[in-house]
Amino acid sequence: MESSVLEIIKARIHEKHQGDEKQLDVIFSPEKRILVEAPAGYGKTHTMVSRIAYLIASNEIPSPKRLLALTFSVNAAYKIKKDVSKNIPVLLDGIGKEIKIKDKTYVSNYHGFCRKILKKYGQKLHPSLLNLDTLQSIDDSDTSNLMQFFKSLSLEDAELLSEFNISVKDIKGKKLSEKIERYNEIVISELLPKGAIPFNAIITLTIKLFKDFPNILSFYQNYYTTLLIDEFQDTNILSYWLLHYLIIDKTNVIFLGDSLQRIYGFIGAIPNLLKHAKDKFKLKVIALDKNYRFESNSNMLQLDKIIRQNALTPFANPDSLKSEVEFAIYDEQSTEALEVVKKTLVTLQNDQESNLAILVKQRGPNVDLIIETFKHNKIPFFYGLFTDEDANYINFNRKCLYEFIELIKDRKRITKKLGKAHTKKIREIFSDDNTALIQAMFELLDVFWLRLFIDYSFLTDEDRINLVKDTFEHNGLKQFMEFLDSKIVISTVHAAKGLEWDYVILPDMEQDLFPNWFGLCGKCKNSLDCNILVNKDNENKFLEELSVFYVAVTRARKKVSFSASELQLTKYNPKKKNISCFMKLPGMELSPEM
């Protein structure tokens, strides 16, 4: 590559990044292995795209298709795919490095990547893997269900499948390494012949393929010269094992993540993974340090810094950070509910082009009263109070997956007609269920099929099939809340991760609710006044709950406000509660109105 051409690329990148030194450090770093600490709103995606373009232009990546980009969530993977497809050709335009369709970077989530490998080579393990797209994905966590659907399965084998699933969530590495071989054997001998495959097996069978056929592993190790891993903090143990196979001495590595956005520990995200990977893969750490989301909003900018500082020095404020935070305390929950509704209406009236989310840690009688108040006043909103472990939410996604697989068995293309047929079938299945959750899922399913042909028109038919399957397999319909027409969304924080609204209200900022009893409050020794003392015994729990709080706050583009009640609704009688310890973080100056 001529130096003049590289200078053109560098000039374009410098202009794009407006002198952000940390972003430019990432983009032009000569290091083969870097870990980018990238908080929400710090320009991670722009930086990542420019880094890829520069590596292609400088021949560090011989061809765009020699870069493998992986991420935890389906939604994030396809957003990266869209950004890469749109922006890299612009940066490389006119320098002899134009990207052809066949040369495009492969971007997927972990399961999507493994599915691609199994479709190509899986017949070496079992012939049914040739038709992987038509295999039904099953839940292997419930022993009794497994034995009900697979009559030849022994109790011992059903229990092993279930225990393996639980061990993934509980991050039991030793137990998994002892059981993975037998787990794969059971899947191959008992489940694949019956047209079924568990979710975890898509990765474990790929690992088995790599172990049993070193030539296949060697091909992928040498073909992908560069690995880019986004949302690295959410990686689970099976995905981490997969990375260990793919990364060899000569592999270029780019990990992007933020330890303070790790909120999926309850489904297996590995704690302290960024630190572990830094040591394991000898990564140079570069931390992005400029918040673009809040650069013109000093209060939100300072609040972001305060929460992040508390992850380093809990309840200390060495930099004397200050943020004026709107926080209202009410006598009891019915008053708070009414004021939340009024606050919502006033906010949207004052900024008529905006939208707003009311985010809570979990469902319960307190948020139920807020919902009833919205309904009583005939104010429309979207019901997003589902979690990754909600049985009805999971079941809806699984039904969607099953019916989609049935529909594509005799087809190779996804059309709008197929989408309509799928939606019609799902509505028939749940026609007798009028619960708020199912009605909300119907809305999300409609939006999902609509956006598939708008935002992902650039995908091949194979990629679209994978996107649909990945979405349903990962229970990912919640991620399409960002495309709803509704101005008001009431959601759990976990369902809202990765999404943004102009305004966010966090009610119920009280003891036992945020943080909740199971997360931190139940074991706190300072429950009388909620002035928590963080020590070695509770530090991990504190950081887990602070991460959820941080994700909630950073869903707001313009402003976040908080409220609480002195009397909290419980299963039996209202009880007097303290305000949340998170409202006492040093530097937060609480104000009733702003």
Q: Which residues are annotated as a binding site?
A: 38-45
Please give the backbone phi and psi of residue 458, each rounded to the nearest 5 degrees, phi first: -80, -10
Distance, CA of 220 to CA of 217 (rounded, Å): 5
With tokens 């061990």, the residue in question is: 167
Give the long-range contacts of residues 282-286, CB within 8 A, separation 24 or more: 282/33, 283/33, 283/34, 283/35, 283/253, 283/255, 284/29, 284/31, 284/33, 284/34, 284/35, 285/34, 285/35, 285/37, 286/22, 286/25, 286/26, 286/29, 286/34, 286/35, 286/36, 286/37
How far is it between the farthest Cα atoms of the chain?
Answer: 75
Please give the backbone phi and psi of residue 590, each rounded to the nearest 5 degrees, phi first: -80, 135
284: part of which helix (H) or strand (E)? strand 284-287
With tokens 């009397």, the residue in question is: 567
Nearest to 105 by CA among 54, 63, 48, 57: 63
287: part of which helix (H) or strand (E)? strand 284-287
Nearest to 307 by CA among 584, 497, 519: 584
Tell me whether residue 215 is exposed, middle or buried, using C-beta atoms within 10 angstroms of its C-beta: 0 to 12, 13 to 18, 19 or more: exposed
Distance, CA of 356 to CA of 503 (rounded, Å): 5
Give the long-range contacts of residues 410-414, CB within 8 A, separation 24 or more: 412/461, 413/461, 414/452, 414/461, 414/464, 414/465, 414/468
282: its two tokens: 């000898």
Annotated binding site for ATP: 38-45
Q: Is 171 helix (H, G, I), strand (E, B) or coil?
A: coil
336: part of which helix (H) or strand (E)? helix 333-350
Nearest to 443 by CA among 508, 402, 383: 383
- The helix, strand and coil proportions of the chain, stated in percent and rounded to the nearest 5, come to 55, 15, 30
Distance, CA of 229 to CA of 68 (rounded, Å): 8
Distance, CA of 567 to CA of 575 (rounded, Å): 5
- In sequence order, the β-bridge partners of residue 503 are 356, 559
202 and 115 in contact (C-beta within 8 Å)? yes
